[in-house]
Structure 1
Amino acid sequence: MIVKLIKSYPSVANANRDVRTDSIDSIGSTIEVDSSVWCYNAQDDAPHRRMCPTTSDEENESDLIMRKTNVKSSHFDIDVPAHHNSSLQDNRVRQALASIVVLDSHLCPKVRTLLHMYNGHLIDMGKELLGALRVAAPDQLAARVGDCNENLFYEMQGHKKDLWSIIVDNIDSNHHAFDHQLHKDIQTFEDSLRQSLNHGNLTYRGSYMRTENTIYQPAHVDYEYSVLNEYGHKLFLAFFPLTSEGTFLQLWNKPKNDHDGASSMAGKLPGQVVYIPYGKMLVVPAETVHGGGFKRGSSGNLRFHLYIEVEDETATGEKTHDDLLHHPTNKYTEENDRSRELCERFVDAYGLKHLLGVFFDE
């Protein structure tokens, strides 16, 4: 069975997963703004460059063209021979694949809808920056995320390190990555973050991540609830792949005014799987319930996870609180009831079980 990336709108199938048996809260995980977009090439498994119109606050000519041509977001589908009689399993796999939202262009209505739903931002990443971060990645990541399956490897970078420092400290200074374009990519990346978050003063901390096997990570948030309640409006998360495998992420849309989940325990909230192609970065608020654990390809979907803090300063230039990037901590339980797992109500997306061993590597 061959899976390919095609252009179409998807439908949805049904399924979910059992609740975690052990309750563990652990230390976790964790732009180019011109018209260029790095896309996933389903045929040669490599990133390639195409041109995509830019946008502005007002509807411009590009928006009108895209609207008239009814541009659609890509999605995964099964490539089957002509006249093939699809089995029930084939159809279930096809429906599950089609439900994955491919974040290939913020101009696509489906992608825009998802970004609006999660208050997210989709940012382009420069080729030289991605290449340099990939070369700088450790051969073996230092630790495993301490959740119930310990399936994810990570290596947190120092809280004082920007992307340039991470690269310089891990690559020979004579390496070709140290050129004008790399400097430009990093500057564009930081400018794009400021523009997207509408704030001129921010810091970030990075972590490399890799998946051993596909075991869906339980729903969690990346900070203590006390931190999110007080400083959540200042904190954001970002995810971007470092190989052409891209990266997959599951998101859950928390009900409004939801604190301990007591009023929502009766209902199940299925996740939404998104695919972030090589050359794209997804930014979401830190309170977003999410989970990884997807593997498709030999690298374990090597990726980078950012913790971003918008800084407020006093008139003297001093920060108004301790550095929040010191303490990212995965939380898998409900805010005011640690006996309840978040994944009791934030259940896996419909149909994921049909993709194991077919699309995702077990």
Structure 2
Amino acid sequence: MATSIKDVAKEAGVSIATVSRVLNDIDVVNEDTKKKVLDAIKKLGYRPNIVARSLKTQRTKTIGILIPDISSQFYPEIVRGAEDVSNIYDYNIILGNSDFDIEKEKEYLRVMKEKMVDGVIYMSSSLQEEILDLINELDLRTILVETKDKEGKLPSVTIDNIAAAVDGTNYMINKGFKDIAFVGVERDAVNAWGDRFKGYQKAMEEANLTVSEELVYTSDLRVKSGYKAAEQFIKSGKKFDSVVCATDELAMGVINGLRDNGIKVPEDVSVMGFNNNVLSEIFYPKLSTISQPSYDMGSVAMRMLIKILNKKELDQAHFVLPHGVIERDSVK
């Protein structure tokens, strides 16, 4: 027979109301009594009835996390950072993978609302107005990661993606490259992908270098898209001496595509990645890349959301974490 809250109260020598206060983290219980209750819970192996508790408190201690591509090396590290913090505060995670499909994103948000998540950490390939409207309509407390809404209404955790892409492109320019191609996701997106193209474009313009349409390729962030980009650049007949990529996966695809067409990296063409994922240091050649603190982005976002859920004031609504250029072997 399952242990009940009444059994816990009897074991600890307190009232059922006191056990309830401890379970709901209400501060009126003194530390000695709280320890007795927690010891009794541990001894008896008591697990609260989450459904009954959530009906009473209107909280489920569950957080929804929505990502655009689970196959990317970048997003799982953000989720790991968020989950590590959620475990500290006894929250559970529901994970959704949208596959860059806005309809799938909307469906996941509706399902998360139906599952009574307390809040959402949201990452997206494109933060469109209809998504913002749905978040507002569903009254989902939301933290944005890797992106910001235009008006800055939702709290966010990002790096300065424009500045990071400028730094990566300038690194190539300072190496003497002039015919620099770009591989990304969506150049006009209101998120990191759009900002990374803007940063590349800005650095090229400031250096009085031409952005050639034949040397800009956008699709999704998978390795095969980088491979296709390399093939397109070669077929275009346009001269290019280097490639700036919006992710490390794209950079790996570009390198494989160049290699299969007899072009050596970095001897013939240099390639810059973005994210500094776990494979970038063991891929051949080791990727020069822009680093961003993905684990920290997840952990900061979760701490922000838990503060909001506990009606505590945020230190700041928009965190911009540091980035850096990592020099390895894919740039000559």
- TM interval, short-chain normalised: under 0.3
Q: Larger RCO: Structure 1 or Structure 2 (Cα < 8 Å, ≥ 6 residues apart)?
A: 1
Q: Which structure: larger Rg? A: 2
Q: Which has the higher helix share?
A: 2
Length-normalised TM-score, structure 1: 0.21
